[in-house]
Structure 1
């Protein structure tokens, strides 16, 4: 079975109020959990060891919120009305 093609989805992102904000000094081991667990691949480890995070493409599944909590994420909420993911199958 092939994984779903996320490129069919449509994302409307509110750049002025992102719904996920990383904490100022998150725990490195928690960040590694996010790299592995995020189904959309929003948390990516770079060659220099830094973490790249991009809220665009978020599936709003809440995995990062459940795994890490407030020590890693300063804020996690659903996007405001009119923003977020619109799932398109096929």
Structure 2
């Protein structure tokens, strides 16, 4: 008779705690934007908002996402998620952007 392996108990930090370990040097200007706001206003899926792990993209009242670029992890998920190719995503200026404490 074989025994079922048990699942180990692992105490992980919350997403908010892990995001707190990320340092962002603000270059002063957003490296994120939308190309055509009207496309966002007509979008029904808001994929850029749904895929962002840091909640940088947030639904705006007018349908156009509000962008809190200071929280960006530079993963570019928003760019690939947008089925309309309507996301402007660039790396921040040299010396700005995200620095990870834990690699």
**TM-score, normalising length from structure 2?**
0.66
Aligned to 2:69, the other structure's residue is in SS state coil
Residues 70 and 20 of structure 1, relative CA distance in 2, 3 Å threshold: farther
Aligned length: 85
Listed as ranges, the gaps of 5+ residues in structure 1 are none
CA RMSD of aligned residues (A): 2.3
**TM-score, normalising length from structure 1?**
0.74
Listed as ranges, the gaps of 5+ residues in structure 2 are 1-9
Q: With a CA cutoff of 8 Å and minimum separation of 6, indicate the structure with the bigger relative contact order.
A: 1
**2:26 aligned to which of 13, 22, 44:** 13
